[in-house]
């Protein structure tokens, strides 16, 4: 069905019109790769992924993946590539700390070569200039790269993370800092030594600062340190008019050690031992219209922070509610709902999004009616016939173009492109409905997890002595139920089932 082959003869021989892809994904992070792989597993072709970097992302240390993520990785067929390498931290509930670079590689490797295009930074989204006829009617979208290259697509998926250009295009507000900073470290034991840590998650909570520590493999340990931005030297530097961000790894390590001064040595030693290239520092952001600044000085304000945050959240309509769908464009993962890492769910939820959107698109592009509903067999057969004819025509065009002169190539190309667009005009209402369904299905879940994660982080970020005393001695022991916080991690977003039209009409 795809028209990829049409460009096989090189740019001079072909007209300027770019081929139309079925699905164009912006961003080859966790979300973009998982979505591309899910589409591949479902047999959706003519998919392309544009990634601004020259290779897969290498930094970011490790991610905690909970059962909801493992279900998705199982569905994608890559979980068993990863499981043997990473320790299961919580026994019956699968929870592993997975190195990001290995996770990305596991998702990338099964995707056919040429689908992911590196050094491809998207700078603009638009409708084709002067589009007329089927192209305008069918709502084909174009994206432009930094170097001027143009891609046309039926469906555009913004998987480009928190700073998403697609989200900006869709009118979503920028993710806002929540007033906390995180330093992450991945420490490898030297010369084949083992860390001998229990396979458990350790959490140390202090005043406005907390540290989590887990084994990743038998010789690697991951830790993160979260602290209030107001207590950071960079905040002080910003106030005094000097530098705002810390990028020097030696300074980052120093900052982490400052915040853990006087803490037990069996925790601090991992910060000391982490090589500087294993360190990473970032400002925590999420997308909602409130901003919570943990207060250092006011007990009352400290106590009110979570309540105020909740009120403001519900009072202000969250900006990340929906994405305009008129051009079959939507957002997936952090591009849609960047969240704080307090529940370690951003990546897990992004994986859930990925297979949900892929499933919906697979059904819509192939005109698969929902199971259990009586299908219109004639329509399905007719569409199947059209698709077969078009696929045949695409192949014929490719063969012809290699043997005939350039004017003939142009007319074949045009004819094919128009057929493809006519097919898209027929598919588009289904695809738009499918994307709307995806947004509906995911919106509430992502909203709830974003709120929980935000409130949990602000609660743990309290830094007044009295409030921390109450939190640690009264509130936490009496009210904290791990199931309430981690209950979100057992969600099952379903399998990837590949249908074809004949099956669906049965
Ligand atoms: C400190 C911290 C700890 C975390 N810990 C966990 C955890 O333990 N567990 C968990 O599940 N989640 C965790 N998360 C969340 C998780 O990292 C994210 O949810 C996840 O990385 C989102 O993936 P993504 O692909 O949507 O975005 P990203 O990982 O940001 O990937 C976006 C990709 O798009 C590319 N891109 C951006 N703009 C363009 C453009 N214009 N053109 C082309 N390409 C572009 C980028 O180069 C990048 O490769 C954590 C987050 C933070 C900040």
Res 460: pLDDT: 80
Kindly state if the Cβ of 331 falls inside 6 Å of ligand 1.
no
- Tell me the range of 222-226, 374-378, 389-393, 417-421 where mean pLDDT is highest: 222-226
CA of 99 to the centre of ligand 1 (A): 13
Query: What pTM did the predictor assign?
Result: 0.82
CA–CA gap between residue 187 and residue 273 (Å, rounded) = 7
Flag whether pLDDT at 450 surpasses 50: yes
pLDDT, greater one: 422 or 118: 118
Candidate of 175, 350, 485 to mutate for ligand 1, largest count of ligand atoms within 8 Å of Cβ = 350
pLDDT at 55: 95
**H helix or E strand, kind and range, residue 347:** helix 346-365
Question: Out of 5-19, 324-338, 436-450, which region has the weakest mean confidence (pLDDT)?
Answer: 5-19
The best mutation among 211, 347, 354 to test binding of ligand 1, ranked by most ligand atoms within 8 Å of the C-beta, falls on: 347
Position 60 scores a pLDDT of 67
Mutate to test the pocket of ligand 1, among 35, 52, 345, 442 (most ligand atoms within 8 A of CB): 52
Indicate if the pLDDT at residue 239 is higher than 60.
Answer: no
Measure 334 CA to ligand 1 centroid, in angstroms: 6
β-pair type (150-158, 20-26): parallel
Q: Whose CA is nearest to atom 41 of ligand 1?
A: 122
Total Cβ atoms within 10 A of residue 115:
20
Q: Is the CB of 67 under 6 A from ligand 1?
A: no
- C-alpha distances in angstroms, 246 versus 50, 209, 264, 280? 30, 18, 26, 10
Indicate whether residue 293 lines ligand 1 (CB < 6 A).
Answer: no
CA of 287 to the centre of ligand 1 (A): 14
Q: How far away, in angstroms, is 100 Cα from ligand 1 center?
A: 10
Q: Look at residue 11 in the predicted model and tell me its pLDDT.
A: 37
Query: What CATH number was assigned to the domain covering residues 4-173+319-367+426-447+492-504?
Result: 3.50.50.60
What's the pLDDT at 465? Answer: 77
Could you please report the per-residue DSSP string of 4-73? GGGGGG-TTTS-SPPPEEEEEEE--SHHHHHHHHHHHHTT--SEEEE-SSSSS---S-EEEE-HHHHHHH
Beta strand 176-188 with 220-228 is antiparallel
Q: Which of 24, 30, 68, 339 is the best mutation target for the ligand 1 pocket, counting ligand atoms within 8 Å of the beta carbon and taking the most? A: 30
- Residue 258's φ and ψ, nearest 5 degrees, are -60, -45
The closest-lying atom of ligand 1 relative to the alpha carbon of residue 160 is 34
Phi, psi of 240 (to 5 degrees): -90, 10
Which ranges in the chain are annotated with CATH 3.30.9.30?
A: 176-286
Domain with CATH 3.50.50.60 in the chain: 4-173+319-367+426-447+492-504
Residue 255: the pLDDT is 93
Distance CA 139, CA 317 (A): 29
| Phi, psi angles (nearest 5°) of residue 340 | -70, 155
Confidence of residue 302 (pLDDT cuts 50, 70, 90): very low
Residue 246 CA to ligand 1 centre (angstroms): 20
Tokens of 150: 């143009």
Close Cβ partners of 467 (under 8 Å, ≥ 6 residues apart): 299, 302, 303
Comparison of pLDDT for 39 and 16, the residue scoring more? 39
CA of 159 to the centre of ligand 1 (A): 9
| pLDDT mean over 33-52 | 96
| Short-list 70, 157, 159, 53, CA closest to 106 | 70
Least confidently predicted of 123-137, 196-210, 488-502? 123-137
282 lines ligand 1 (CB under 6 A): yes
Q: Which residue's C-alpha comes closest to atom 31 of ligand 1?
A: 29
Per-residue buried b or exposed e for 9-36, using 16+ beta carbons within 10 Å of the residue's own CB: eeeeebeeebbbbbbbbbbbbbbbbbbb
Atom of ligand 1 nearest to the CA of 27: 34
Fold adopted by 176-286: D-Amino Acid Oxidase; Chain A, domain 2 (3.30.9)
């Amino acid at each position: 069905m795809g028209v990829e082959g049409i460009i096989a003869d090189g740019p001079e021989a072909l007209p300027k019109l770019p081929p139309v892809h079925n699905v164009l994904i912006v961003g080859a992070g966790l979300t973009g790769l998982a979505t591309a792989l899910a589409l591949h597993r479902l047999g959706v072709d003519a998919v392309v992924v544009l990634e601004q970097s020259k290779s897969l992302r290498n930094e970011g240390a490790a991610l905690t993946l909970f059962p909801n993520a493992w279900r998705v990785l199982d569905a994608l067929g890559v979980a068993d590539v990863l499981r043997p390498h990473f320790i299961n931290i919580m026994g019956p509930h699968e929870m592993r700390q997975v190195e990001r670079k290995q996770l990305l590689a596991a998702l990338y490797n099964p995707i056919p070569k040429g689908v992911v295009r590196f050094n491809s930074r998207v700078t603009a989204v638009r409708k084709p200039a002067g589009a007329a006829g089927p192209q305008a009617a069918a709502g084909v979208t174009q994206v432009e790269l930094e170097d001027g290259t143009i891609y046309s697509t039926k469906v555009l998926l913004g998987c480009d993370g928190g700073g998403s250009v697609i989200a900006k295009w869709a009118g979503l507000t920028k993710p806002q800092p929540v007033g906390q900073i995180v330093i992450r470290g991945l420490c490898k034991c030297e010369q084949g030594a083992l860390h001998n840590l229990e396979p458990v998650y350790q959490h140390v909570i202090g005043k406005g600062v907390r540290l989590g520590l887990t084994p990743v493999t038998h010789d690697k340990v991951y830790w993160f340190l979260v602290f209030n931005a107001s207590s950071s030297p960079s905040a002080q530097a910003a106030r005094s008019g000097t530098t705002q961000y810390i990028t020097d790894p030696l300074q980052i390590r120093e900052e982490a050690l400052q915040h853990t001064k006087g803490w037990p040595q069996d925790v601090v030693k991992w910060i000391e031992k982490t090589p500087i290239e294993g360190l990473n520092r970032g400002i925590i952001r999420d997308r909602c219209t409130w901003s919570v600044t943990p207060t250092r000085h006011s007990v009352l304000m400290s106590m009110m922070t979570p309540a105020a945050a909740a009120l403001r959240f519900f009072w202000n309509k969250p900006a990340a509610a929906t994405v305009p769908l008129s051009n079959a464009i939507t957002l997936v993962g952090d591009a849609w709902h960047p969240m704080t890492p307090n529940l370690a769910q951003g990546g897990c939820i992004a994986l859930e999004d990925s297979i949900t959107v892929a499933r919906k698109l697979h059904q819509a592009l192939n005109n698969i009616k929902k199971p259990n509903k009586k299908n219109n067999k004639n329509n399905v057969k007719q569409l199947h016939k059209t698709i077969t004819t078009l696929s045949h025509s695409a192949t014929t065009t490719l063969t012809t173009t290699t043997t005939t002169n350039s004017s003939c190539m142009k007319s074949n190309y045009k004819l094919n492109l128009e057929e493809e667009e006519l097919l898209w005009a027929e598919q588009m209402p289904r695809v738009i409905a499918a994307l709307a369904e995806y947004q509906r299905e995911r919106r509430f879940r992502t909203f709830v997890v974003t709120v929980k994660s935000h409130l949990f982080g602000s609660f743990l970020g309290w830094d007044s002595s009295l409030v921390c005393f109450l939190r640690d001695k009264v509130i936490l022991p009496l009210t904290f139920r791990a199931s309430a916080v981690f209950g979100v991690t057992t969600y099952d977003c379903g399998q990837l089932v590949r249908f074809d039209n004949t099956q669906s009409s049965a």
